[in-house]
Amino acid sequence: MIPRQMRSVWFLLACAILVLLIVFLAWPLINLLSASVATVKGTNQSGWANFFAERKYSEALFNTLLLGAIVTAAATFVGVALAYFTARFDFPFKWLIAMLPLTTLIVPEVIAAQTWLMMLGNNGLITTLLGSAGIPLPSFYGWPGLVIVMTFIYYTYVYIGTLAAIRGFDVQLEEAAQSLGTSPAESRLRVMVPVVLPAILATSLLVFTLVVGNFAVATILGHKVQLLSVLTYLSFVSEVGADPVMQSTLASASIGIVAVVLFLQRWIISRKRYEIAQGRGARATRLQGLPAIALAAAAFVIVIVSVLPLVTVVVGAFTHTRGPVMYWGQFSLASIERVFINAPDPIINTLLYASTATLIGIALSVVASYLVVKKRNALTPAIDYLIMLPMAISGTVLGIGLVVTFNTGWLAMTGTAAIIVVAYVVRRLPFGVRNASSTLYNIPNSIEEASISLGVPPLASFCKVILPLMAPAIGAAAVLTWTTTVSELSASVVVYSAGRETTPIQIFRLIDTGLNGRASAYGLALVVMILIPIFIAVKIFKLELFAAKG
């Protein structure tokens, strides 16, 4: 029977994708989780007993949760306030704020951490300037640095989510509340807040999981503050002999935390999603006088602070250095020359691995989301679930899982470029799938059926009718996947081997040795690699990149 055969084309594709997901995602995770209950070398304790017995680990757990809570609270405060004021008020320089989503995208975490250090670290520009003026700054390492840098990295997530929710809110509801006798302020509090709250909670919880999984900032700025992600990484690279059980236990602990938080997030979203029937967005109120100046100033500070890493890295790349010392104000091309001419390998590696991973990732995303959205069968719920799983695991954990699993055996990949590409693809898959499926939901089934009814077989109908309609979304997803892939650090730093350093890994290593000039030059290269596709997509192909994000 031919209909069965046609269906089996999709069924075979679903099988293939499921096998890939099981091999490269589920299997490594299962390996990791099962290792955590084994016995630790030299003791007769299991990893978990050790975890709760040793002070170092319980301290790390406590610190991780505390840092998560503080950063989430701070980022939520900044993000919500900014979103509310930009949605409901007009003030000078408001357009600047529109650039904010861009800054999170184009400033990789490792560069953010590095540039903050170049400003406020022990030898930082501001530290030395103020120091010579007789104002000693407290050390930026540890809690102050972790909280400030992470807050400024993550508040944009809250900002974007909250802004969308406030814009989607039907202002007539507020008017209805006023007509029923509550004051404007009270109406807003009692009508708008409950409707917008789920979006805020959802993005806050996302920020929490990102903080728990954060590797770059935690490692570079953590210093003496014990954190789970840092300990996990250290237990993996430890010179005194990696401890496979402890690294698994630590990884499992962070998986556990994130799983609980994501479960909470799902629960909140499913319980409290309100449909706004028809929307009439609120008109922004034009502010004048002092409030306008205050808001503009606040927004200005936030934008400046967000963009500062970019400026610092560019200036730093052209600044004269000797070893770790930066001679601010004296310019030279030495760092640039060194990086681009003498040691361009990390840049070439990044281009090679990231482009391969982007191509594979996007192809997989398109097919997988098509199957999940349009061609449901017995396998697609499993695909849907597995494909979103990388959101719940940090890069470090994924990387360790991959190394542990593919170290030996029939698919030994450790030490090859392939394992870096696999890590890239798996980490960014949820991103691509989310983008692709949101467009697919907007393409009615009848379009495809119309093509079939006109005599074009199903697979050909998909290629002739659906793919062209998805093209802009695929393009946008490809660019966004690329930008987040070239800056990927936490998984690749675990799986890479000598000679296969990518640009972020090289920056990370240079910061460790204090060579900020060269790190800035690589940082500049990284920012350029990120900006060029964005520029091409927005200016030449007129893609709506930021509609796809979120």
Partner 1 sequence: MARISIEGLDVSFGGVRVIDGLHLEIPRGAFFTLLGPSGCGKTTLLRTIAGFIAPDAGSLRFDDKDMTHVPAHRRGIGMVFQDYALFPDKTVFDNVAYGLRARKLEPAAIRTKVGAYLERVGMSGFETRYPAALSGGQRQRVALARALVIEPQVLLMDEPLSNLDAKLRVQIRESISDLQREVGITTVFVTHDQEEALALSDRIALMNNGRIEQIGEPEPIYTAPATAFVADFIGAANLIDAEVLGPGPLPDQVRIRLEGRELIAFAGGEVATGKAFVAARPEDLRFCADGMETANALPGTILRKRYLGFKISYRVRLPTGRAIAVDLHGRTKETYDEGQSVMVLFDPHASIVVTR
Q: Which residues sit at the interface with partner 1, rule CB under 8 A?
A: 1-3, 6, 444, 446-447, 449-458, 461, 465, 468-469
Q: Please give the full DSSP string across 243-293, using - where no structure is assigned.
A: -HHHHHHHHHHHHHHHHHHHHHHHHHHHHSPPP-SS--PPPPEEP-HHHHH
Which is nearer to partner 1, 237 or 459 (by Cβ)?
A: 459
Element (H, E) at 419: helix 417-442
Which is nearer to partner 1, 320 or 375 (by Cβ)?
A: 375
Which is nearer to partner 1, 329 or 455 (by Cβ)?
A: 455
Structure tokens at 469: 């309609």
Q: Where are the beta strands (DSSP E) in 368-432?
A: none
Structure tokens at 280: 């009439």
Which is nearer to partner 1, 44 or 446 (by Cβ)?
A: 446
Pairing of strands 285-286, 319-322: unpaired
Rounded least distance, CB 385 to partner 1, Å? 20
Helix segments in 214-243, DSSP class H: 216-222, 228-237
Rounded least distance, CB 494 to partner 1, Å? 43
Rounded least distance, CB 376 to partner 1, Å? 12
Structure tokens at 137: 């700054």
The owner of tokens 């500062």 is: 308
Rounded least distance, CB 544 to partner 1, Å? 16
CA distance 108 to 217: 10
Which is nearer to partner 1, 342 or 445 (by Cβ)?
A: 445
Rounded least distance, CB 322 to partner 1, Å? 58
Element (H, E) at 305: helix 289-317
3-state secondary structure of 86: helix
Which is nearer to partner 1, 168 or 472 (by Cβ)?
A: 472
The owner of tokens 């500049």 is: 524
Element (H, E) at 200: helix 193-213
Which is nearer to partner 1, 142 or 472 (by Cβ)?
A: 472
Rounded least distance, CB 448 to partner 1, Å? 9
Rounded least distance, CB 11 to partner 1, Å? 15
- Nearest in space to 97 (alpha carbons), one of 287, 294, 299: 299
